[in-house]
Amino acid sequence: MRSRILPRAWLKGTFLILGGIILLFIIAPVGKMIFASSPSILMESLRDSEITSSILLTLYAALLATVIGFVLGVPLAYLLAKTQFPGKKLIEGIIDLPLVIPHSAAGIALLFVFGRNYFMGQAFDGIGIRFLDSLAGIVIAMLFVSVPFLIDSAKEGFKKVDPRLENVARTLGATPWKTFSRISFPLARRSITAGCILMWARGMSEFGAVIIIAYHPMIAPVLVYEKFETYGLNYARPIAVILILISLVVFVVLRFLLYRRERS
């Protein structure tokens, strides 16, 4: 990292002021939520079983989505990072689709496949899994909107693994599977972990797709909305604060991982 002479004062000053506005715009709402909340109200909210169970449900559903994303997504990330084939760009495009599809529209789209009257819905119905207003529905909504984060991060991680390390492993007698499990995966592990955390955080924060498929059982972001609609801003606030605090903790862990990845 090479340091440079800073732009002259006026340019830097203008840029700092403009940048400062956007920083304040992000910090102010989050900071105010956290610091203006009285701890006693928060503690009380944590004793409210409706709130705690919705938060636990959110964490659990996002975790399930992440596990599924890990099992299905990491192998795909490896193929995309390490092999060349026609249509690769198309597949990379498809994976990023959920990032731009409006969340409520994504929920509608998922219902047209997983709803009880539709193909996958019927198939899963046979083994007793229903999606409408159920944990399974929450999980697929979260999976849909958040899996691109894991796949992209894992792909970047695998790409950074020097192919020569894998080549050397092969010549030393490692099979493709051993090369993957002993060399590529361990070396990409930090990126994959960061991707999992990002996916989990993104899953937890989903609202639009989930509310369409499963208003009940109520995940925390839906509960925030419900309280806001029914009782108003001040009743929605404690849950929102708790959610933001959880996100922040997850986020700090994530930044720490990313920071160490950049340095190594």
Partner 1 sequence: MISIRNLCVELGDFTLKDASLDVEDGEYMVVVGPSGAGKTVLLETIAGLFHPRRGEIRLRGRDVTRLSPEERHVSIVYQDHALFPHLSVRDNILFGLRMRKTDAKQSRQAFSRAVELFNIAALLDRDPTTLSGGERQKVALARALCVSPDVLLVDEPLSSLDPRTREEIEAELQRLHRALDVTTLHVTHNFEEAVALGDRIAVIGEGEVKQVGTPEDIFRKPNSEFVAGFAMSRNIYPGELCAADAGRRGFKSGNLLFYLENGNAAGNRAVIRPEDVMLLPREVLPNGGNTFAGEIVRIADRGSTLYVDVQLPPVITALATRHTFREMNLKTGMRVGVCFDASSVHVFQE
Within 163-222, which residues bind its own copies (CB under 8 A)?
Answer: 163, 166-167, 170, 175-177, 179-180, 198, 201-202, 204-208, 211-212, 220-222
Q: Is 144 in the site for its own copies (CB under 8 A)?
A: yes
| Binding partner of residue 108 among its own copies, partner 1, none, CB cut-off 5 to 8 Å per kind | its own copies
Kindly determine how many residues on this chain lie close enough to bind partner 1 according to the rule CB under 8 A. Answer: 23
Residue 167 contacts partner 1 per CB under 8 A: yes
> Which residue stretch of 37-45, 56-64, 159-167, 217-225 sits at the interface with partner 1 (rule: CB under 8 A)?
159-167
Q: What is the 3-state secondary structure (H, E, C) of 59-122?
A: HHHHHHHHHHHHHHHHHHHHHHHHCCCCCHHHHHHHHHHHHHCCHHHHHHHHHHHHCCCCHHHH
Rank residues 195 and 221 by Cβ distance to its own copies and give the closer one.
Answer: 221
263 binds partner 1 (CB under 8 A): no
CB atoms within 10 A of CB 50: 13
Q: Does 160 bind partner 1 (CB under 8 A)?
A: no
CB atoms within 10 A of CB 204: 24
Smaller CB separation from partner 1, 111 or 161 = 161
Angstrom CA distances, 112 to 44, 102, 115, 118, 212, stand at 40, 16, 6, 6, 12
Q: Shortest approach of its own copies to residue 97 CB, angstroms?
A: 6
The overall longest dimension of the chain from CA atoms, in Å, is 69
Question: Is residue 58 a contact partner of residue 66, using CB atoms and an 8 Å limit?
Answer: no
Which one of partner 1, its own copies, none is in contact with 251 (Cβ closer than 5 to 8 A by kind)?
Answer: its own copies
Residue 194 Cβ vs partner 1, minimum distance, rounded to whole Å: 17
Measured distance CA(206)–CA(225) in Å, rounded? 12
Q: Does 122 bind its own copies (CB under 8 A)?
A: no
Query: Is residue 94 part of the contact set for its own copies (CB under 8 A)?
Result: yes
Whole-angstrom Cα distance, residue 244 to residue 25? Answer: 16
Pick 104 or 167: Cβ nearer partner 1: 167
User: DSSP label at 83?
Assistant: -
How many chain residues touch its own copies (CB under 8 A)? 111
* Under 8 Å between Cβ of 198 and 150: yes
User: 45: which 2 tokens?
Assistant: 């909210």
The residue ranges that bind partner 1 (CB under 8 A) are: 1-5, 8, 162, 164-165, 167-175, 178, 182-183, 186-187
